Structure 1
Amino acid sequence: MPESILACRDVAKLFGAKPERFVRDGRLAVDQAALAEAGVVPAVMDVSLEIGRGETFVIMGLSGSGKSTLVRCLSGLLAPTAGEVMFEGRDLARISEGELIKIRRHQMGMVFQSFALLPHLSVLRNVSFPLEVQGRPKAECEARAREMVKLVGLNGREDRFPRELSGGQQQRVGIARSLAVGPDLWFLDEPFSALDPLIRREMQDEVLRLQGLLKKTIIFITHDFEEAVRVADRIAIMKDGRVVQIGSAEELVLSPATDYVRAFTRDAPRAKILTARSVMAPAGGATDFAGQIDAGQRIASFAHDVESSDRPFAVVENGALLGVVDRIAMIDVLVGRERKAAA
């Protein structure tokens, strides 16, 4: 994994009367039953994770799983009841309020589901607003805002107000505003869940395009596994305030750690997730191949060729033969396992 930019260790967030009484030496020192008896609600429990610089890390779970509370702890919006959040090696709970505000204004950007645009300001002024808060010169603010508006494809709409834009365009303004400060860390909290499916996919494409250009570290919150698959390098699945598994989409589908993860990924589009490496069989001395497939290719990209051939395809990596894939292997992974599970 690349160099860590953000990490949390044994983070817990409790809501209720005097939650700090359940903390010893900075760690939670009580079980869930005792918390319930005391009327204290554990929103996040004992979460430890590490996020690499330039990584797109998705945190997902159903409503009430604790994902949004965790993100607010990671961004410094909420102080954890126990544990520590380290940003570039600094514990956010141990720095001054002024330093924390400076970090959040200059090194972090956030996009919310609700867009959170200022209705009385134009597109340009909405985008330049965080720069104005920093006290930058007006000309610099406007020039940077115009650059960001162009980046998200809204040039020509700088003078419009939020009410004059579609939902997708409003979210683009939110994205432009969050990027205006040049953040090292970009938080996207279910940013597209209020959008229609077609616009939602368009906005996912926009995030992928921007990540390809800017190479930001992204923490993306969603409850939609297909959305997570499209944007994530790694995915953390949460349940009842705890992280139950972290891995790539392929790892979660092929090796679910719990029944909950298995149920969560059951309807995942396997052909778009699994690679040739996942479906290949040993070559066994075979030499008569219909063609070659790179080990990292998704099944969807080669399924038609394999299905229409009587001969297997060689699975290769850096020119070396790793195995073979044929129609039977694909059916076993894409259909066979699910049929066995259903049986």
Structure 2
Amino acid sequence: MFAKLSPQTRIIATVIAVLLFLSFLMRWYVFGIQWHINLILMLISGSMMTVSWGFFSQFHRYLDKVFPYERGIFLRIIPQVLITFGVVYMLSWFVMWRVISLFNFEDIINKQYTTLAQVAGYFAQFVVVVLLNVLHLAEYLFRKWRENALRAAELEKEKAQVQFDNLKNQLNPHFLFNSLTSLDSLIQDSPELARQFLQQLSKVFRYVLQHKDKGLVSLQTELDFIKNYVFLLKTRFESTLFIDFQIQSDSYDKKIVPVTLQILIENALKHNIISQERPLTIRISTDGAYLKVENNLQLKKKVETSNKLGLQNLRTLYGFLTDSSFETIELNGKFVAYVPLID
């Protein structure tokens, strides 16, 4: 049951328990009060502390609504401390001179409650009240900071998603133009191949339309889509483009962001020379917890349509979805992208 309490409540409960235990020991060791009377005094003190903390919680919650700290910390904290101290003082006075008299503790109170003890008691109460108010202020500021941090992170995630969606929308017209150009040449030369090409093209765009609003899809779903996409590319580039798949069976149910593979393949096509003398090879494989997409580097001197945002948007988006990072490296004449597979 104790574990179900909030961290703040657990801290306060622990502090109250420690104070009650120390006061019990002091009354027994210094004043020699009998254990059954000491126990009653401890229960009364515990009740006072619990009631005081309950009042603090409700009072702070009320002020958080009607006069939050943002309107002025000192304008809030000074009257807050004075009011809470006044309530504690009145409660202590009421208990001291009204409740304890019912148990015939006058002699004990007179023995303990000297003028010095009164001053020390009021000072201790004031210090405790100030500490509780400062604790509430610190907790309030930390909560607001955490809320703002979460809100900022959510806004960044939404921004990354919007940028990624814009990227997908930009890819579609460019890809469609190239596909229609290829289809036009096939209609006269190979009507049957043109029909197959058109069917695969419709499957590609159906996938984009069906999954453009989804955050994640299974790797199997993405691979089924990309194989239709590869058919279109092979028809266009023929023997100058090779795409090889080496996927482990236990990876098919893992998740990735939709059209990740299309963006990576499109990136390879956009930045590299593709010709009979210098064919482009793209290998897609699984490497532990990652999907590995690599191609041989034969960079073009100038890339007309590159805005250099595609990979960055993927990197940012995966950064919000998983602790494993999206990485790209150039190694031994190859460009390699590591896409984290999400469980």
Relative contact order higher in (CA < 8 Å, ≥ 6 apart)? 1
Structure-1-length-normalised TM-score: 0.22
Structure showing the higher strand proportion among its residues: 1
Structure-2-length-normalised TM-score: 0.22
